Amino acid sequence: MAKVKTVLSWCISMVLITVALMTPTISQAGAASIKIWPYQLTPQMPWEGGSPEGYYQNHFEVRNGAFFAPLKLPLGVGAKITKVTYYHQGYPGGSTAVYIIRVKMGPGMETQDVASGGSQDSTGVAIPVVLDLSVGDPILRSGYQYYVHIESPNYLGSILGVQINYYVP
């Protein structure tokens, strides 16, 4: 009988520990975000008419070109992008723009903007810019590739990163 009580006591303890560890995971399920740092972007091309040196990229900013990065977003019933924010720093004459785009490959190829936005702020201070999600379909669908496309037409406007918030039920 003592052996049964010991085993039972041990099993109950393990169940309680497991439940205690699982509860935070369950309560936080659903909302998540992806951060894309400037060094993670791939240059597409220098901006024509921009700086003669071509595009500029380092660990904290990109400018004077077009850049992109594929997005690894979870696909599932009801999964959707809820907010996209990028960080712009501009000086007089500078501007930036960011697009979230989805592409379907193969017959009937389709390209659609999911979100877009831009800024011409020229204060020299890094500011958050929230993209407009009403331009496309923010629901994440299988069969599509999602990516972020960034434009900085000259060296006076920089992008310091992008954050994409999404929800998976």
Whether the pLDDT of residue 28 is over 50: the answer is no
For the ranges 47-51, 102-106, 120-124, 132-136, the lowest mean pLDDT is seen at 47-51
Tell me the average pLDDT of the chain.
Answer: 82
Range of the domain at 90: 31-167
Whether the pLDDT of residue 78 is over 80: the answer is no
Q: Mean pLDDT across the stretch 23-49?
A: 74
Averaging pLDDT over each range in 7-21, 23-37, 86-100, which range is the top one? 86-100
Instruction: Say which CATH number the domain at 100 has.
Output: 2.60.120.260
Task: Note whether residue 40 is domain-resident.
Answer: yes
Taking the CA atoms of residue 47, residue 51, residue 54 and residue 55 in that order, the dihedral angle to the nearest 10 degrees is: -70
Instruction: For residue 117, list its beta bridge partners.
Output: 98
66 or 28: which carries more pLDDT confidence?
A: 66
Whether the pLDDT of residue 89 is over 50: the answer is yes
78 or 42: which carries more pLDDT confidence?
A: 42
Q: Mean pLDDT across the stretch 93-108?
A: 90
Task: Note whether residue 14 is domain-resident.
Answer: no
pLDDT at 19: 36
pLDDT in tens, 1-24: 555 444 445 444 443 333 333 333
- Into how many domains does the chain fold? 1
Residue 90: its H or E element: strand 80-90
Task: Note whether residue 76 is domain-resident.
Answer: yes
Please tell me whether residue 15 adopts helix, strand or coil conformation: helix
Task: Note whether residue 25 is domain-resident.
Answer: no
Instruction: For residue 45, list its beta bridge partners.
Output: 66
pLDDT at 63: 93
**CA 163 to mean position of chain CA atoms:** 4
Task: Note whether residue 153 is domain-resident.
Answer: yes
Contacts of 165 (CB under 8 A, 6+ apart): 31, 32, 33, 81, 82, 83, 84, 85
Task: Note whether residue 5 is domain-resident.
Answer: no
Considering the entire predicted model, what is its pTM? 0.77
CA–CA separation, 59 and 139 (whole Å): 31
